[in-house]
Amino acid sequence: MRPEPSPSVPPSLAGLQRALLALVTGREAPGPELRADALVAGDSRASADERIAVYAHMVRTRLAEALASQFPRLAQRLGAEAFGELARAYFADEPSRHPSLRFVGARLPGWLAERWPDAPVVAGLAALEWARADVFDLVDEPTLTLDDVRAQPPERLGDLPLRLVTAHRLVTVARGTATWWSSPDAEPAPDKRAALEARATEMLVVWREGTSVFHRSVDDPERAALALAAQGTSLGLLCDTLSAEQAEADAIAEVHGWLSTWLAAGLLVAATA
Amino acid sequence: MVPGSFPHLGRGLGLRREHYREVIETGPDVGWFEVISENFLGPGGNPRRVLEAVRRDYPVVLHGVSLSIASTDPLDGRYLAELAALARDVEPAWISDHLSWGTAHGINAHELLPVPYTEAALAHVVRRVQAVQERLGRRILLENPSSYLTFRDADMAEHDFLAELARRADCGLLLDINNVFVSAHNQGFDPHVYLAALPGERIGQIHLAGHSEEGGLLIDTHDRHVRLEVWRLYAEAIARFGPRSTMIEWDEAVPAFAELERELERVAHWERVGLEAQRRRHAA
């Protein structure tokens, strides 16, 4: 989006803000003109450095706490010290550019995948937690119910639209991620062999029921069906797609099973929505 | 601007996650709630569900932390659009943010960083407040910051900066009494002179909170009861300006809701102290 029109900026004010931001975030090595005592007056209560340090501490603490609140299980699994180190490194590479603290962790899963390639479940756990946070916040929609399906005339059942609600996520993560999410003792050993094995992936669907967020693993056929439903399909098209790969009766039985599960979870948008 | 542009809502509280369920289910006797705008900017889901439930029973005001009104970065159009949409949905009694900045060169420190009190900065902030008010279609309130430093280039007092800002931009003020006390100690100014210099008719809301002491500085921690010196300063403000919508901010080590209700009883007590002082002053 185009920025709001902004009046002309006093250059000295811009320079001062750049200098103070550098001092409180430590993002640039301050030059002589960026010394705290060149900007700020110290006195008997506190020196200029001590006054700047109050803001620097608040910035570090606020960002680290926000990140830990967005990735509570990752923070717990890694421990306070390691997670604190991770937060410092992450924000050095990926400073926040969004007005809301809610989004400071948006790039953490991708950053972990690049920085810690030998521990893919760490990035996986971050991706899962981020998806769960998203789903918690996403919009409410009327959902398709079993009664809606039963009300569909049998001859038009194939036309029943199937579209996943906005408040869902399909995430592909390293195998073992879901297990590590639910059990801290299930952390894979961080050796080469484990890393190679962990390059195998699993897909998780994340959804919300009321105020609770859930996730579960899905197999390849359901993964493909969910991908179709995410874009919007119909019951008939889903059955036709599956029938191309297996006997029609088996396909219908499989779709029936998925439909029951998806309806119970509130994963489908009401046909009239 | 005429007095009373911002309605008098009585005594309120900052709505915090720890109390969502209790507030919605028990409907406590609180005049109004202030919510942090950024926590509800999304289009729906659980945050909006909570806000809508609270809004059904209480007046709500929006208090932002990300307007970055004094930044030299362009105003964030997406943020303002989301804030305007939230205001359309919630119909808050007013919208407020801080006299501060948090972004520079696109990087957000997520902190309320201090403004140099200079004529150039004043002119800059006035233009930005006017632009924001035009975008939102309403006056906003700006809060005096808690501050831990004074810039060497500053050439005016904070209270003069605020008074002139409110006059030129035609905006309101959110007077944080704890911030006045904390900044007065940290910067070495007289809080009574500060209050006397403010345009009372522009003060639409008052904040009260607790602070801590670290080294030689006071820190605005919002993690404990309001201190006696701050209550006394609050009574002085009421004596000077009359009753204002007043709320308790408690953001860290958040206590049980009943404790906040007891803190509101103290607000009522010190408001009475202030009004009695005002009555005596007028009678003298």
> Rounded to an integer, what distance in angstroms lies between the CA atom of residue A49 and that of residue B29?
46
Query: Do the Cβ atoms of B225 and B261 come closer than 8 Å?
Result: no
How far off is chain A from B246, nearest CA to CA, in Å?
Answer: 26
- Where does the pLDDT of residue A23 fall: very low under 50, low under 70, confident under 90, or very high at 90 and above? very high
Give the SS3 label for residue A70: helix
Q: A248 pLDDT band (50/70/90 cuts)? A: confident
* B208 within domain boundaries: yes
Residue A264 above 60 pLDDT?
yes
Residue A105 pLDDT greater than 60, yes or no: yes
Q: Residue with structure tokens 């959804």?
A: A207
Flag whether pLDDT at A117 surpasses 80.
yes
Domain ranges of chain A: 10-106, 117-273
At residue A5, the pLDDT reads 45
Residue B222 lies in a domain: yes
**pLDDT at res. A189:** 52
For residue B69, give both structure tokens: 């009104």
Contact A7 B127 (CB under 8 A): yes
Lowest-confidence range among A82-86, A150-154, B34-38, B236-240? A150-154
* Within a domain: B88: yes
Whole-angstrom Cα distance, residue A157 to residue A31?
71
Which chain A residues are closer than 8 Å to B120 by Cβ? 10, 12-13
Q: What is the pLDDT of residue A173?
A: 95
Residue A108's CB: how many other CB atoms inside 10 A?
24
pTM for the model stands at 0.89
B134 interfaces chain A, CB cutoff of 8 Å: no
pLDDT at A11: 57
Distances (CA, A) of B123 to A7, A10, A78, B76: 10, 9, 48, 19
**Strand extents, DSSP E, B211-278:** 212-214, 217-219, 245-248
**Successive 10-residue mean pLDDT values, chain B, 284 residues:** 75 95 96 96 84 97 97 96 96 98 94 96 98 97 97 95 98 98 97 98 98 95 97 98 97 96 98 97 88
Would you state the pLDDT for residue A145? Answer: 93
Mapped onto helix, strand or coil, the DSSP state of residue B110 is strand
The confidence score (pLDDT) of residue B92 equals 98
Which of A13, A48, A136 is facing B72, going by the closest CB pair?
Answer: A13
- Angle in degrees, 0-180, between the axes of helices A235-243 and A248-265, rounded to the nearest 10: 140
Of the candidates A178, A86, A98, the residue with the CA atom closest to the CA atom of residue A131: A178
* Average pLDDT, rounded, for chain A: 88
Residue A1 reports pLDDT greater than 50: no
The confidence score (pLDDT) of residue A166 equals: 93
Asked, for residue B93, whether it belongs to a domain, the answer is yes
For residue A6, what are its two tokens?
Answer: 């902004």
Higher pLDDT, A204 or A245: A204
Contact at CB, B109 and A59, closer than 8 angstroms: yes
pLDDT tier, A10 (very low <50, low <70, confident <90, very high otherwise): low
Q: Does B121 touch chain A (CB under 8 A)?
A: yes
Residue A8 confidence (pLDDT): 52
Residue B24 touches partner A, C-beta closer than 8 Å: no
Residues of A within 8 A of B107 (CB-CB) are 21, 25, 27, 95-97
Residue A6 has pLDDT above 60, yes or no: no
Chain B CB contacts of A10 below 8 Å: 72, 120-121, 123-124
| H or E segment and range at residue B113 | strand B107-113
Closest-CA residue of chain A to B214: A54
In chain A, what residues touch B106 (CB-CB under 8 Å)?
97
Of all helices (H) and strands (E), which one includes residue A250?
A: helix A248-265
Q: Does A212 touch chain B (CB under 8 A)?
A: no
How close does chain A come to B130, measured CA to CA in Å?
11
The answer, yes or no, to whether residue A74 has pLDDT greater than 70, is yes
Most confident of A25-29, A158-162, A240-244: A158-162
A139 contacts B215? CB cut-off 8 A: no
Query: Helix %, strand %, coil % for chain A, to 5?
Result: 60, 10, 30
Contacts with A, B 153-212, CB within 8 Å: 153, 185-186, 188
ipTM score assigned to the predicted complex:
0.94
Per-residue pLDDT of A167-197, as tens digits, reads 999 999 999 999 999 987 766 555 545 555 5
Name chain B contacts of A7, Cβ cutoff 8 Å: 124, 127-128, 131
Tokens of B122: 């004043």
For residues B11 and B58, what is the distance between their CA atoms, to the nearest angstrom? 12
Q: How many CB atoms lie within 10 A of CB B252?
A: 11
Q: Which domain holds residue B33?
A: 11-283
Query: In this structure, how many other beta carbons lie within 10 angstroms of the beta carbon of residue A183?
Result: 9
- Domains contained in chain B, number: 1
pLDDT given for residue B3 in this prediction? 45
Residue-level pLDDT at A194 = 55
pLDDT given for residue B34 in this prediction: 98
Q: Measured between CB atoms, does A33 come within 8 Å of chain B? A: no
B5 found inside a domain: no
CATH number at residue B151: 3.20.20.150
Count the neighbouring beta carbons within 10 Å of the beta carbon of residue B130.
Answer: 15
